[in-house]
Structure 1
Amino acid sequence: MNKKIIIIILVCTFLNFNKVKLSLLTYENTSKEITKDLFLSDNLIDKINKFKSLRDFKIISSKPIKPIELPDKNLDNLNLSISKKGKVIDNYLSPLEIFPNIYTKIDGILTFRGDNLRNSINLSVSNIKDKKLNIRWFNKTSSSSWGGGSGWTGQACVIKWPDEIKKMMNIKDIFKNKATFTEVIYGSLDGKIYFYDLETGEKSRPSIDIENPIKGSVALDPRGYPLLYVGQGIPEKGKFGYRIFNLIDQKLLYFLNGRDPLAYRGWGAFDGSPLINRKTDSMFIGGENGIFYNVKLNTDFKPLDKTISIQPEILKLRYKIDNNNYQGIENSIATYKNLCYFADNGGAIICLDITSMKPKWIWYGKTADDTNASITLEVINNIPYLYTGTEQDKQGENGFTYIRKFNGLNGNIIWERKFKCLSRVVKDKITNEIKASNGGLYGTNIIGSKDISNLVIFTLAGYDHPYKGIVLAIDKSSGETKWKWEMPYYSWSSPIAFYDKKDKSYIIQCDYHGNVTLLEGINGKVLDKINLGKNIESSPIIYKDKIIVGVRGNRIYCLDIK
């Protein structure tokens, strides 16, 4: 048998592929299709060093996954177009564009809220004993016109790189040789992306400067490839759009211009965090210009040569809903199999079939309002249920925030609850422009597990008072409030849950006064609080009893859970 075929078989055995059929291809005639289910591991490169690229494998599933087929619903008021390279496509079909059940097997948190359901932000079991929070380290950032530190949504990524990948990147030698090295990657309002050692807070490599404030959350590739995905919130000096970086040498691989002439809206920000389908080598993201992007990356990763490249092919979905004049996708999209869910600045909820790039249902009711918090999904008996909520934006200074649960297959509302929230008028410190700072939902909710498996947790700003807030524990089935914690200060930051060895839940909630509060998940009892001195808009992550969060005051913190 050809040696190269033997090597492919060894690699597949090593990777523990289940029920797959290997295409017997020689090096010369091999397909350039990306591996269907490939995760990098410490010894992988030794197994494949006879190949020029990881694209030299072709794995064909013997048990194809079927997409979910849904009838069209509530699409009469919709106008849309799908285009590629400036040309409209009438019939697009990619039947294999289905997200796997597991977003990644790489050790870390690689996208906003952890996975494609946007509800797996903390996977490790906590060793909490004293129920206390302590500062472990902090680092200063520089400043831009928008300040420094981190803003909304501002979540970090954390990753324990496979050894062979770590050694090929421009990480400091001390960390290349550190077995426990785990890297924190954080986008800042100063326009830079920072890299830290989780344990010590020491900078692990140089920062990357995109010259524009980063409000949203960076993302890493779920295959463990050395790729960094980053958007931006405000145009300052640099080009306005979305970027993909090579983390071997930190060079820019691709720039997606947010000022798209195709868009109905000229605002080119990307606050949302993308999802990457590791099986199809595709990236999906919504832009604040109102366009939904399907990006075939065509990744070519050559570990032996220590190189990685991409050749993106861009598919664009532009849509318009009657009587919805607010374009823009500011939240991070969520997916289940071939169904993608997102909301826009007008408050419309869209279910999109990414195999055809066509919506299957749309909800745009009379009480729709700006929806910036990301939709979360909980799958029960193969039915995805959506949890979502609105800002109090288009109702004046006094109005309501609406929290809803949807059936993701048909768009039916399971329950809806409304809460009175107040907006406030503020003066922009830079432009002196008078603006409204809206109340309502900014943070992404918690879908409870373990001892709070019956609850979904939402945090609202401007509840009862423009500068106050509330944390609500809502019963998943009935929509009734089970407990609430009325906060002395409002919050845009997403709450985050973690669980101990006995399945007892805890919640971390940050606020604009700089407080990081530890709560009991079952009843909302305050257990501890630590103040970081400045407004916390960003969403924290928890990794092995360490909390990573940035503040508006030019600092990024790591806290220990004791």
Structure 2
Amino acid sequence: MRRAHTVRMPRPVLFRLFVAGMLVLIVGGVATTAYALRNAGTRGPSAAPSGPAPSGPPPASASPEPPPFTGWSDPKLVGKPYGTKVQGLLTFRGNPTRTYYGQGPVPRTMPVEKWQFPRSGGLCAMSSDKGETREWCGSGWTGQPAVFERDGRTWVVFGAYDRSIHFLDAVTGERILPDFKTGDIIKGSVTVDPDGFPLLYSGSRDNYYRVIALDRGVPTELWKLSADAVKPTLWNDDWDGSGLIIDDYLLEGGENSQFHIVKLNRGYGPDGKVTVNPQLVFHTPGWDEQQLKDFGDTNVSIENSVAVFKDTVYFANSGGLVQGWDLSGLKAGRAPTRTFRFWTGDDTDASVVVDADGYLYVGSEFEKGNARSREVGQMLKLDPSKPDNPVVWSVKDQATRPAGIWGTPALYRDIAIYDTTGGDVLGIDRASGEVRWRFHLPGGETWQSPVVVDDTLFIGDCAGTMHAYDVADTHTDPKLLWEMKIGGCIEATPAVWKGSLYFGTRAGAIHALTTA
């Protein structure tokens, strides 16, 4: 082996090299310590390391990536669209937590009417309610249209008080498919299949909740669930709730006061047409004996749209009972179990809204005026992880009777927005329950659910006026951007999609407003 030559250096040079080496070690040790502290969570706002990230595998202490979510409703999708397979606003308030309100841009200045459907006349029919038969026109609570992309065009689909479901072109307002007729009026919002199957789901006051195919020349009923298919039932046979479809299961509450789960078994036949083979796999009363005793009334229908967060489905009833049922074992054949119970004391028809941390936002009416509703309040934030004492905060609306909340609250940044039947609109601090702002709509009762897209709040009143407010600064009073007189009480919640608003009024028509 050939040896390297040894070079001898003078002593002063060796000393200088020794000192320089010690300085390098000291400085390097300080830098290494600082880097470790930063990774240990002590980083300040300007302490981010400069230069490229270290190469090679992460240190042993680094947190691994969380596994993919395998439950029923991913918390990361709160406020996001209902999946990725179909673009659109597919169900009431857009997704399983009822927190998606549509896609902008939105009209920030006075809009123009793009179309009205029908162009003349009204969407009207006779219907009986509580023994009284009268004419119903247009669309009402909740009545939000579904707006979605299919076959290269934008569809607007809704049920109305003329006993029909309508399928319109969003650009022209003309029919894409013939109307689908039912035996009575339709009050709730339809649901479009989020997994790309050409299917629509809708209830009617005629006793049935239906699955309808959209891939024929005419909309075709494939299956229907009778309100009398389960026992026991209370109240009536209407279906106001907008169903959820998750992993081939339909989840729906009815005014028969029962909650239902249906395995759809979706597929396609030899002819390429969509098929279903539904099986009712679970149902349970939306009430319990304690509620009937405390409430003193059998009006305990489920009129809201169920919400799902992680593995729990939430719903309330017209007697004020809010429940959560664990779905985690359903796919393995285990029946859901109740994990949460809270009684508001009064009619709770507004849908339960769930935020990314699992808190529930509940709006309750003030009709009975009983001790429980006076104590609990009408605008609530609940923590279901504390079932014995879930109230995080509450705000009361009890100046008159009836009072309280009919519209489903909206979550926007750090506030929750509620509107009262008396016409007040409130922005409430989601953490503290402090009322940050409040304004009044002069048009009488307000049942519409507030909608916020692109920092713009849209809300209609019962004088027939649609209002738009700038709410970008949640700490200051909303700034009125525009208001447009439409005519007819606006109970139905607007759908916001790519520059336009779509909504109905009790005057008999559906309106499309767009940027001027």
Letter in 1 for 2:144: Q
Query: 5 Å matches for 1:440-519?
Result: 440-448=404-412, 453-462=413-422, 469-489=423-443, 490-499=445-454, 505-519=455-469
Letter in 1 for 2:125: S
The match for 2:148 is 159
Q: Which stretch has the larger CA shift, 342-351 or 254-263?
A: 254-263
Shift of 1:393: 1.7
2:83 aligned to 86, 104, 108, which one? 104
Letter in 1 for 2:490: I
In structure 1, C-alpha distance between the alignment counterparts of 2:68 and 2:355, rounded to whole Å: 23
In structure 2, C-alpha distance between the alignment counterparts of 1:319 and 1:512, rounded to whole Å: 31
1:114 aligned to 75, 83, 94, which one? 94
Structure 1: state its 5+ residue gaps: 1-61, 68-96, 167-178, 424-437, 463-468, 500-504
The match for 2:309 is 336
Letter in 2 for 1:456: A
Matched, 1:394 2:368: yes
Q: Is the 8 A contact 1:288 1:328 kept in 2?
A: yes
Q: Is the 8 A contact 2:138 2:160 kept in 1?
A: yes
1:134 aligned to 106, 109, 112, which one? 112
Matched, 1:310 2:276: yes
In structure 2, C-alpha distance between the alignment counterparts of 1:66 and 1:546, rounded to whole Å: 35
Shift of 1:134: 2.0
Per-residue CA distance 1:280-326 (angstroms, 9 max, x = gap): 21110111111111110011125x83311111110212354234224
Structure 2: state its 5+ residue gaps: 1-65, 127-134, 293-297, 329-334
In structure 2, C-alpha distance between the alignment counterparts of 1:134 and 1:558, rounded to whole Å: 9
Q: Is the 8 A contact 1:292 1:318 kept in 2?
A: yes
Per-residue CA distance 1:88-118 (angstroms, 9 max, x = gap): xxxxxxxxx5668553111111000000010
The match for 1:422 is 400
Shift of 1:545: 1.5
Matched, 1:362 2:326: no
Per-residue CA distance 1:362-409 (angstroms, 9 max, x = gap): 012xx52110011111113xxx0111111112128xx86511101133
Letter in 2 for 1:120: Y
In structure 1, C-alpha distance between the alignment counterparts of 2:125 and 2:230, rounded to whole Å: 28
Per-residue CA distance 1:313-345 (angstroms, 9 max, x = gap): 102123542342242111001111211111111
In structure 2, C-alpha distance between the alignment counterparts of 1:509 and 1:319, rounded to whole Å: 30
Q: Is the 8 A contact 1:99 1:336 kept in 2?
A: yes
Letter in 1 for 2:433: G
Shift of 1:478: 0.7
Task: State the secondary structure of the residue aligned to 1:206.
Answer: strand
In structure 1, C-alpha distance between the alignment counterparts of 2:67 and 2:430, rounded to whole Å: 34
1:350 aligned to 290, 300, 323, which one? 323
Matched, 1:143 2:124: yes
In structure 2, C-alpha distance between the alignment counterparts of 1:525 and 1:63, rounded to whole Å: 43
Structure with the larger helix share: 2
Q: Is the 8 A contact 1:259 1:266 kept in 2?
A: no
Letter in 2 for 1:374: S
Aligned residues: 409
Matched, 1:534 2:488: yes
In structure 1, C-alpha distance between the alignment counterparts of 2:464 and 2:76, rounded to whole Å: 37
Matched, 1:379 2:356: yes
Matched, 1:409 2:385: yes
Give the structure-2-normalised TM-score: 0.75
In structure 2, C-alpha distance between the alignment counterparts of 1:361 and 1:533, rounded to whole Å: 42
Shift of 1:133: 2.5
Matched, 1:217 2:217: no
Give the structure-1-normalised TM-score: 0.69
Query: % of aligned pairs identical?
Result: 30
Shift of 1:561: 3.6
Q: Is the 8 A contact 2:169 2:176 kept in 1?
A: yes
Letter in 1 for 2:405: L
Per-residue CA distance 1:163-205 (angstroms, 9 max, x = gap): xxx3xxxxxxxxxxxx4x1010010011101111111111112
Q: Is the 8 A contact 2:156 2:167 kept in 1?
A: yes
Matched, 1:228 2:228: no
Shift of 1:552: 1.0
Task: State the secondary structure of the residue aligned to 1:147.
Answer: strand
Per-residue CA distance 1:208-256 (angstroms, 9 max, x = gap): 0012100000111001211010012x34xxxx12111111121111110
In structure 1, C-alpha distance between the alignment counterparts of 2:364 and 2:503, rounded to whole Å: 24
Task: State the secondary structure of the residue aligned to 2:232.
Answer: coil
Which has more radius of gyration?
A: 2
Per-residue CA distance 1:392-437 (angstroms, 9 max, x = gap): 12128xx8651110113333111111122434xxxxxxxxxxxxxx
Task: State the secondary structure of the residue aligned to 1:150.
Answer: coil
Task: State the secondary structure of the residue aligned to 1:388.
Answer: strand
Letter in 1 for 2:116: F
